[in-house]
Amino acid sequence: MREIVFDTETTGLNPAGGDRMVEIGCIEIVNRVETGRTFHAYFNPERDMPFEAQEVHGLSNLFLSDKPRFAETVEALLEFLGDAPLVAHNAGFDFGFLNYELERCGLPGVSMNRMIDTLALARQKHPGAKHSLDALCMRFGIDRSHRVKHGALLDAQLLAQVYVELTGGRQIGLGLVAETGTVSVPQSAGPIIAREPRPPRPHAALAEELERHRAFIAKLVNPLWERFAAAQ
């Protein structure tokens, strides 16, 4: 099954109050395995970047000034998303900004039926624990050392790993076909290759190895097994 894990960066918390999306990062996964296909874009928000937001993601007015507007990139984004389910952390926030930008372009919003919220999954699986992306990376042993500031593509890559762990781990990608004697592993792209197992190879000690073993045993004084043999 194809799914898209995505994250956004914005100028603030409220699109209805004038905040805009300034970055989106998307990771394609198929059967919970990353395919290597990504979509990443920065957007000119056509407004000033508040200091508090810049402190979170590091995207300044100057950096964004020559970036395309959302409307100039929306077709490529929608083509990448397709009709796949969309995975995000605190997904209502990201869906809110994505749909606000789509509506500004005169396009229909993404159906909330496509939303998968990893925050809700984490709360259900680990009630009472911390559920931030950093906390979940720490819980599952995911390296986040390169996450100095928030970044949409980097956070989507981390979230993709978290999502796999929240939904059963990487073992769910393995399939065993017992009736044919073959083992197959679902792959993210290309055909699945099934190979016959190799026949067992004989493993027997050489005559000189057996002789050396007998000589070694003969040197042992009062070995344990002789005590048990005498007791019987």
Cβ contact 197:180 at 8 Å:
no
Q: Which of 89, 146, 150, 203 is catalytic?
A: 150
Q: The domain 2-172 is classified under which CATH number: 3.40.50.300, 3.30.1360.200, 3.40.50.970, 3.30.420.10?
A: 3.30.420.10
pLDDT band at 19 (very low <50, low <70, confident <90, very high): very high
Interatomic CA distance for residues 167 and 5, integer angstroms: 13
pLDDT of residue 208: 84
pLDDT band at 81 (very low <50, low <70, confident <90, very high): very high
Active site residue 131: no
Look-up: residue for tokens 């559920």? 131
pLDDT at 189 over 80: no
* Higher-confidence position of 89 and 199: 89
Q: Find the angle CA(89)-CA(82)-CA(25) to the nearest 5 degrees.
A: 40
Residue-by-residue DSSP string for 190-212: SPPP-BPPPPPPP----HHHHHH
Q: Which two tokens stand for residue 179?
A: 């009736």
pLDDT in tens, 23-40: 999 999 999 999 999 999
What H or E segment, with its residue span, contains residue 40?
strand 33-42
pLDDT in tens, 167-177: 987 654 444 44
Computed over every residue of the chain, the mean pLDDT equals: 87
Q: What is the DSSP letter of 147?
A: -
pLDDT of residue 210: 84
Query: Hey, how many other C-beta atoms are within 10 angstroms of the C-beta on 111?
Result: 11
Q: What residues have CB less than 8 Å from 25, skipping those under 6 apart?
A: 6, 7, 8, 38, 39, 40, 151, 152, 153, 154, 155, 156, 157
Phi-psi region of 190 (alpha: psi -120 to 50; beta: other; left: phi over 0): left
Where do the structural domains in the chain lie, given as residue ranges? 2-172
